[in-house]
Structures are given as C-alpha cells and as structure tokens.
Amino acid sequence: MKKFFSLVAMLLVFAMMLASCGSGSQDQPQPDSGNTDPSPDSGTTTEKILRIGGTGPLTGDYSNYGISVRNGAQIAVDEINAAGGVNGMTFYLDMQDDQGDPDSAVAAYGKLIDNGMHVSIGAVFSGAMASVSLAAVEDDILLISPSASNDACIGSNDKAFRICFTDSSQGKFSADYIKDHNLADEVAVLYQSDLDYSFGLYESFAARAEELGLKISSVQTFDDSTKTDFSTQVNAINASGVKLVFIPIYAAEASTFLSQAKGKLSDDTLYFGCDGLDGILTKVENDVSLADNVMELTPFSADDKDSRVQSFVAKYQDAYNATPDQFAADAYDAIYVYKALIEKGNITDPEDCSGEYLASLMTEIEISGITGTMTWLANGDTEKDAKAMIIKDGVASLYEG
C-alpha cells in the first residue's frame, strides 16, 4: 500500500502560490466510455485495474484547462482499454476537481489515495502541482503532469515528471521562433506581474531576446486587481510603434486586452503567447475577429496532417463536440507514457507500479506522441520540439511562414 503524505507536508503547502501554465467549451459530462468505477460496491474486481489519478480545475473561470486534460486523458484510456489493455491490466481515470487551488489539490490528492490510486497525472496548474509534489514526496507514486510548466513545481519530488515545456523553455522558444521566422525586430511585452507563470515566461523571453538582439521597446504589466482595464498599456504599446506584442498571459485576460486593443493597435499587429492562451477562441466567441493574428507556441495543432493527430481530433470532437487543445493532447500522451512504462517494466499487476521503479524507467524511454517525440531528463523535464499556431477568422492552424 502507498504511504499517505505527512502532516508536515500538508502544512507546508498552505504557503504555496498558484502558478499555472494554462480550447473548446467542454464543460459537459464525459461520455459513457464503459470504464466503470472499480469500487467494491460496483461488483467489479479491482485486481487488474490500474487506477490513474489526477487533479485540475473542473469548475470555475479556468475550468477549460482541467476539462481539456480530463477529456484528453479519457480518450487515451478508452483507446487502450478497447485494444485489450496492457499486460492484462485495464486503465481507469479518476480526475478530481481542485479548482486550481494548491490547498484543494492536496485534499483531492488525499481522496485519490483513499480511492486506491496507483499512479498519477499530477495536477494541471503549477501551483497545485507544487503542492501535490511536496505532499507526495514520501509516497511511492509516480506523478506525470501534462501541463504544470513552472520550472520549480516538480523539483521537490524525484518521482515527478512533466509532458509540457517548462516556463523557461517556452520563453526561450518564443524568442527563438520570433527571430528565426523574422516576425519582428522589435517587440512589446505585456505580462501579469503577480503571476509566477507570466513573470517567469517574461524573464526567460527577455533574457533570450537580449542574446538574439531582439529589441524589447515597451514592457507593460498588470496584476490581478487591474486586469479589467488595459487602456494605459494599449496606449503605451501603440506609442512604441511595434508590430508584435508578446503576451505570456492566460486566455481570459488576453481576451480582455485584445478587445480593448482592437481599433487602437494596427490591424496587422501580431500577438504571440504560450500555452496559457489555450482556449482563447472560447473567450472571444461573440467576436472571433478579436483573436485574428494571435500566435501561440505549441507542441500540438489540431490541423496537423499526422494520421495519429487526426484520429485523436476526430475522437475528441465526436466525444465532446469540441476541438482539442494542447492540454488535451499532452494529457493523452501522458496516459500513453504509462502504457510504455508498464510495457518497458513488464509489469502485470497494478500493485507493482512502484513510483520509484517507474521513475527509474522514465529516462530510458522515448515516446513518439501526438505532441512530438519525447525523452525525459532525470530532473523530470521533457525534451521535444515546439511549433506555433496562428488564428485567422476563428480558426487556429500551424504557422507556415
């Protein structure tokens, strides 16, 4: 049996701040996948069922991120079970709502332990993942978060890994992409100063921009108390004369900024962001033109012609009546990482899925997923290539420029 986290760890996480990496309006019940909850009361044996736990915001303003993760993971679980499972085991996904809150994530993690969780896809948001990682240090549970991008959020636990890019790599990749594709020689930046995710991306972007000779002509900030009025920032960006604005912020705040920038900044201005922009089209669905010329760094695009990507997109759209984003795709790949680990370790019983043993295998596998070919470092970070999407007329597609 896995050891439950200590009281000390639980008290420490109260100091954690929320930091997230953050499309489709998908807040609806999951379809009946036939993946019955294997509880004693259900009459279903749990002997060969691998319980995969996870937490994320399934309600509230940021629920699109958690729902994407849950839905993408469920598609993979259903596929694997339909193909007969892995080494005699079937998978079961147990996703708990943590509302994007670190303390709630710890409580949700405790519930998952009580439910018999064997392995975990961690938490969706970085602050929540930091809390869960710390709480789980003494537990023999492997954590593979699809989306927790803060560089330090998994550092407290040597059995914690991630599928997504780190914040520092996203900032660096963004500067590289802008420079390599000749998108601009001068840029402006708008970031949220009291959000670790946003500030971290800005710092890594600014450092790389200086190395590349990419000039930052205007740096504008806001915080949680001022995120509804961007008039000052829009005027300053307009005065700088730049034609590209780096916006490492969330979709909700980006939609407000874009609506206030429309008609004041040039129509050909590009807005370049990272994974926090996922879901932007659902935030501007009353006027999708607001998102024209928004670019997003991503490892995944729903219009990718790869047959595996298109199969996933078709199944996702059929199940949830929405187009999957990179959160859904990263979660899908996370489940297949567990399949690969079980096969690599020749594991035939869920109780043998030791976190320590599985973690030792992470640096030995290479996964060709729908978000790219991935390998892992001992510190839990993944290595894979980045792409960029651009939105035109309400449609996001891979940038071909």
Is residue 398 in a domain?
no
Is residue 1 in a domain?
no
Taking residue 36's Cβ as centre, other Cβ atoms within 10 Å add up to 12
CB 355 within 8 A of CB 117: no
Q: Are residues 181 and 261 in the same domain?
A: yes
Q: Are residues 200 and 92 in the same domain?
A: no
Q: Which residue has the higher pLDDT, 24 or 330?
A: 330
Q: For the segment 153-195, what is each residue's pLDDT rounded down to a tens digit?
A: 999 999 999 999 999 999 999 999 999 999 999 999 999 999 9
Q: In the chain, how many domains are there?
A: 2
For 352, residues 6+ apart whose C-beta sits below 8 A from its C-beta are: none
Which pLDDT score is estimated for 7?
37
The neighbouring-strand residues paired with 51 are: 92
Final residue in a domain of this structure, among 298, 316, 332: 298
For 375, residues 6+ apart whose C-beta sits below 8 A from its C-beta are: 363, 365, 366, 367, 382, 383, 384
Q: Are residues 73 and 54 in the same domain?
A: yes
Q: For the segment 127-144, what is each residue's pLDDT rounded down to a tens digit?
A: 999 999 999 999 999 999
Is residue 391 in a domain?
no
* Domain encompassing residue 270: 168-298
Q: Are residues 76 and 102 in the same domain?
A: yes
Distance CA 134, CA 144 (A): 14
Is residue 289 in a domain?
yes
Q: Are residues 286 and 328 in the same domain?
A: no
Q: Are residues 69 and 85 in the same domain?
A: yes
Confidence (pTM): 0.81
Q: Are residues 135 and 50 in the same domain?
A: yes
Is residue 132 in a domain?
yes
243: nearest Cα among 263, 278, 271, 221: 271
- What is the CATH classification number for the domain harbouring 250? 3.40.50.2300
> Phi, psi at residue 129, to the nearest 5°?
-65, -35
Of the listed ranges 26-35, 50-59, 123-132, 159-168, the least confidently predicted one is 26-35
Q: Torsion over CA of 310, 100, 141 and 116, rounded to 10 degrees? A: -90
Distance CA 86, CA 350 (A): 11
Is residue 272 in a domain?
yes
Q: Are residues 288 and 144 in the same domain?
A: no
Final residue in a domain of this structure, among 298, 332, 354: 298
Taking residue 323's Cβ as centre, other Cβ atoms within 10 Å add up to 17
Sheet of strand 143-145, all strands in order from the earlier edge strand to the far edge: 90-97, 49-56, 119-123, 143-145, 160-162
